[in-house]
Structure 1
Amino acid sequence: MSGEWKEPVKDDGQDRKSWKLLEKTLLAGVQEQRRARRWGIFFKLLTFGYLFAALLIFSPSLPLGSSQSGAAAHTAVINVRGMIADEEAASADNLIGALRAAFADEASRAVVLRINSPGGSPVQSGYVYDEIRRLRAKYPQVKVYAVITDLGASGAYYIASAADEIYADKSSLVGSIGVTAATFGFVDAMKSLGVERRVYTSGEHKAFLDPFQPQKADETEFWQGVLSTTHRQFIDSVKAGRGERLQVAAHPELFSGLVWSGEQALELGLIDGLGSTSYVAREVVGEPNLVDFTIKETPFDRFTKRLGASIAEHLSIWVGLQGPQLR
């Protein structure tokens, strides 16, 4: 009959194609997710491995380059670089740790302190000086040599004087056997600005280093006495280390805080010869193989120090709130 409705005929082939296409799409999505997870796991493992390797490389617990038992004979090298102060690369903790490791290594034929430093804390320098003397007595077969590169002054020379012998380049700067403690005075500046300083203390001389208050004669005399005492301790240590090699009688200005070239220092008895670290290892020790026992700072230590501790420390030096320095 014309106009009668008829049910459309289903195309089973077309339906099957649609389902297969949908299935392929879903499977592709699942595979992509699995692939993404595998890559995610791979990169996480790679990152972990990188951090673990960095931790081993930069760990300060062991000196980089320290040899294992049975390693080849070598000359141990320890760098004394920059300011000698707590929390610095050339702190007593770092230097003493490196010294103990170098001396304890049976393959070490000698220890060389490679110095490039203007000095620093008399306390930190004294700690290292005493430890070198102790280790020399404990390991008499291991000689200690100090080699000054550009600069070995004040606290750095304090440390060097504990060595068996000291070497430098002919143009190195050596000496500066003296003590300094510098600050500023802002009293007149505050008056001109109309600023009043108010300090409350429980001791008569508690604020005697305050740069915003006038100096007092008795406090200045007292502080000079502290510096003179520290200077005397410095001189006594240098004399104990260098002995009769120092030409004090002919050069009374030896302990005046002056600094000399390596060539002049040799004539004054401040050093024993001219030469580099390689020269000393090769010609004096007889073992040219060098192994670095210097304890390295971690990147995190350097980062935090630069952002916080170092700023506070140098600020305290600037305003005169830190102890005397060997410079």
Structure 2
Amino acid sequence: MTDPAILNALGRVALVHEAHLGALVADYMRAATPRADTTMRGERDPDQWRGYRVDNGAAIIPLRGSLITDGPFIGSIWGITSYEGFRAEMRRAAADPKVSRIVLAVNSPGGMVAGIDNAAAAIADAKAAKPVVAMVEGMAASAAYWLASQADEIVLSPLSEVGSIGVVAMHVDMSGYLEKAGVSVSLIHAGRHKVDGNPYEPLSEATRADIQADIDRLRLEFANAVGAGRGARFDAAKAMSTEARMFDAQTAVKEGLADRIGSLDSILSLSGVPRGRVLARKGVPMSDNQGATGADTPVFTQAQHEAALASARRDASINATAAERERVSAILDSDEARTRGSLARHFAFKTGMSAEDARAALAASAEEGNAAPASPLAAAMAAHKPASLGPGGERNAAAQPAKVIDAADIYARRAAAVGRR
């Protein structure tokens, strides 16, 4: 069970490939361990404290593993990178007279939200002084691609993957676990939204909507940052249209997420030539301001974002309706519902139980009678037990026992009547 305090520290929203969300939590916990800093420092060569090495005039700055907010962590020896450490190394490399260009050695699934904007700004600042190329050897997903997209050029190894231009949010509901453990949590708070999204109770629809609005906004910022970095090669609208997909190297180059396929050695073999030609692609020089943010940079507008959201919500509504119909049918058509019709209809229409849970509950319930449920009119008639009438309007035998008629008595009565006349 993951400590909910750790999840809260991550801010609940992350810029990470969804398959690596658990690894991000584990890496954050490792970095947060009090002895992690001193232990890792002791493993490092003092000359490595710069965080980068210089090869043929290129400062190679690692951007590897989970990306977290604070700490000096940078370099493959730690397996994680902090935005704080990354910014420091970018500033040092930009000011280092032995460095003529900067290479970001990227292999990361992404990471935390807090700090990503400042890390991206550090790349923009460095680009004003020296060319910056992102060399992806493995993966540049989510936050890692956000940073790579700010470089002058993105080069991929043949087996690299890039993308995941999206946002993921996580909420852990521990209420069922705590209930089974016999633990009850009372949250005493001031302010209606103070405990929204806490892990001790199910997520309300209102809070879910608020979180969704936050990640929609962050996704828009992500797409615009990519568009600002990549310019016409891959604008914000194209970034939004990826729907957070990952792309292999060949497809990424074709679609504009990256510039070419190459290797770190090929980048390092470039000699120190004037700015504008250092990162030439297929013999075509790059201008100094290619990829820089400017007035002409395509931006995915709020109106376009809202239109995309409206379309997505329509699709979600259609899918939700279809799913609900499927759930109801699965309950009512189940074998368990055949002898428990009333309860099955209650589960199907009055609760949000899944079909599996409803069937399990039905199976554990007593079977109902074979007769169909009585209508209100039938129930009332049964309660009052009105008498039935025969063909001539007389009460039937069940209501009034038949009177025995004697023929002799009839004749005697008639004779008496005639005598009186």
TM-score by length of 2: 0.49
**Which runs of structure 2 are paired with 1:39-188 in the superposition (5 Å)?**
57-58=45-46, 62-63=50-51, 65=53, 74-85=57-68, 86-87=70-71, 88-89=73-74, 90-137=81-128, 139=129, 142-188=130-176
Alignment partner, residue 279 of structure 1: 266
Q: Which amino acid aligns with 2:60?
A: V
Q: Distance in 1 between matches of 2:44 and 2:239?
A: 51
Q: Which moved more, 1:57-66 or 1:185-194?
A: 57-66
Structure 1 or 2, whichever has the larger Rg, is 2
Tell me: CA distance 1:199–1:163, structure 2 relative to 1, closer, same or farther (3 Å): same
Report the equivalent of 1:263.
Answer: 250
Matched with 1:24 is none
Matched position secondary structure for 2:167: coil
Higher mean Cα deviation, 123-132 or 108-117?
123-132
CA contact (8 A) 1:95 1:128 kept: yes
Q: Deviations over 1:137-191 (max 9, x none)?
A: 2x1xx21000111111000001101100001112211000011121322333434
The count of residues paired between Structure 1 and Structure 2 equals 225
Q: Which amino acid aligns with 1:215?
A: L
Q: Return the letter of the residue paired with 1:77.
A: I
| 1:10 corresponding residue in structure 2 | none
With CA pairs under 8 Å and 6+ residues apart, which has the higher RCO, 1 or 2? 1
Which amino acid is 1:128 matched to?
A
Check the 8 A contact 2:223/2:240 in 1, yes or no: no
1:81 alignment partner AA: R
TM-score by length of 1: 0.62
> Which residue in 2 is equivalent to 1:199?
187
**Secondary structure of residue in 2 paired with 1:108:** coil
Tell me the distance in 2 between the aligned counterparts of 1:190 and 1:204.
24
CA separation in 1, counterparts of 2:145 and 2:51?
Answer: 23
Q: Distance in 2 between matches of 1:92 and 1:211?
A: 28
Percent identical: 27
Whether the aligned pair in 2 keeps the contact of 1:125 and 1:156 (CA below 8 Å) is no
Q: Who is 1:190 aligned against?
A: 178
Give the distance between the partners of 2:133 and 2:53, measured in 1 at CA: 19
Question: Separation in 2 of the partners of 1:156 and 1:266?
Answer: 17
> Compared with structure 1, are the counterparts of its residues 106 and 263 closer, same or farther at alpha carbon in structure 2 (3 Å cutoff)?
same
String of CA shifts for 1:62-96, please: whole Å, max 9, x gaps. Answer: 44646xxxxx9511110001111123431122111
> Which amino acid is 2:116 matched to?
S
Query: Cα distance, 1:242 vs. partner?
Result: 0.4
Amino acid across the alignment from 1:93: E
Alpha-carbon offset, residue 271 of structure 1? 0.3
Q: Secondary structure at the match of 1:84?
A: strand
Structure 2 unmatched ranges of 5 or more: 1-41, 75-80, 275-421
Structure 1 window deviating more from structure 2 (192-201 vs 154-163): it is 192-201
Gap runs ≥5 in structure 1 = 1-53, 67-71, 288-327
Counterparts of 2:170 and 2:264, CA distance in 1: 34
Kindly tell me: are residues 55 and 91 of structure 1, through their superposed partners in 2, closer, same or farther at Cα, counting changes over 3 Å?
closer
